[in-house]
Amino acid sequence: MANPGGGGPRSRGAWWREGTITAIAFALCLLGGALQVDDKSLAPPPAAAYLIAVASCAVLPARHRAPLAAMAATTACGVLVPPLGLLLSPPIVAPAVVVAYSLAVRAERRTAAAVLLAAAALPAASDLAFAFGSLSWQDASRVAAVAAFPLVAGILGHSTQNRRAYLAAMEERARRAEKSRDSEARRRVAEERVRIARELHDLVAHQITLANAQATVAAHLFDTRPEQTRKSLRELVETTADALDDLRATVGLLRQTGDAAAPAEPAPGLSRLPALLESFRRAGLEVSVRHEGTARPLPPGLDLTAYRIVQEALTNVTKHAGTGSARVRLAWNRDRVTITVADDGGGAAPSTSMGTDRPPGYGLIGMRERATAVGGHLSAGRRPEGGFLVSTELPLPPAKDAAREIDGAPAAVEGAGDAP
């Protein structure tokens, strides 16, 4: 490919183009030199015309690398035209017009304007100086045309420069937009992976914890209370079946476009809290619920966050607290809902009680991420009086509908063991 700046190797097409331009400029320059000064008629070009044509056209190939030097050389040739007895006409300054265009394309605007004005004025001043006293209106118009041609070429070159700059800016903007789209796509993929990982953790941790508790009860009562063992095993089957259904629904999010769509279930929320608490009761954990204030409908994302935080907090109680009871409190205010889950057990903190042979869990991390994602915050730690407490505040949107209570639970009533 041809190098616009002239700093690299040129293709064969570029060399043909340069040769053609140089040949045309040489022919026009000789044509201008063939014009006679006296009667403006044509005659064989004198030696001076060949000298001007060769000198001015020889610098044309250098106009890409050194446009200012080439402009100076062609301008000097134009200044020498009248002293050599030649007629200063537009054809004889054709090489200067070609260089003027290249200069305007490549040089800075102010520099190009100053040089082009000088290149137009100097040959005209030289001609006027030699024709002083015998200048007719025809000579004046001819000199004006000679001065105008480089200026017009400069205007065309400046327009080309602006167009190239605009195209370059558009290409750069397109590259930046493509890079931005790639970065945004990678960010969204990373966020989606974290979200799916969080969902899978909550599902697996909850269901496997319940299954483990039920299997432990069945093993403990296998010899002494076979009826209770069979009941625990039936509950274990139900728990594992629910776990498979939840996992199937979550993994279905990873299916590619065009795969057969699986029947979608609504995302869980606080309306499914009774069923959640019942599953913990079947695993041997008694949960009491207390409501304060007037419950309000929650947006789907916020509703899912509240449900998952209660689920994960109770799962940690089941795994680590070493107690058979826990308390859930939901306090509804004008602009936020506060959810606390507490136990009176003496077990280690959920984040550190996995044992030395297991990696640390992600339960508290996931709960904090969920709360932060909806504009809330979560705190967790040991209570001075014993046990562990998880507390989160989630912002509520402005109320648009009439407030309602969840499943008819009265406000500020503690239902010992009753779901809301």
Per-residue pLDDT of the chain (420 residues; tens, 9 = 90+): 344 444 455 677 778 888 888 899 899 888 888 876 655 566 788 888 899 889 999 999 888 889 899 999 999 998 888 888 888 888 888 899 999 999 999 888 888 889 999 888 888 888 887 765 566 777 788 888 888 988 998 899 999 989 998 999 999 998 888 888 878 877 877 777 777 677 766 666 666 677 777 677 677 767 677 777 777 777 777 767 666 666 666 666 555 455 445 455 567 888 888 888 888 887 778 888 988 988 888 888 888 888 889 988 888 887 776 677 889 999 999 889 999 999 876 544 444 333 334 444 567 888 888 888 888 999 988 888 888 899 999 998 876 543 443 344 333 333 333 433
Strand segments (E) across 213-362: 286-292, 325-332, 336-342
Q: Cα 18 vs. chain centroid, distance in angstroms?
A: 44
Helix 109-130 and helix 137-220, axial crossing angle in degrees, nearest 10? 170
pLDDT at 255: 57
Q: Is the pTM of this model over 0.85?
A: no
pLDDT at 135: 66
Q: Are 357 and 343 in contact (CB under 8 A)?
A: no
Q: What is the DSSP string of 351-366?
A: TT-S-TTS---SHHHH
Structure tokens, 239: 């728990």
pLDDT at 318: 79
Distance in angstroms (rounded) separating the CA atoms of residues 147 and 119: 8
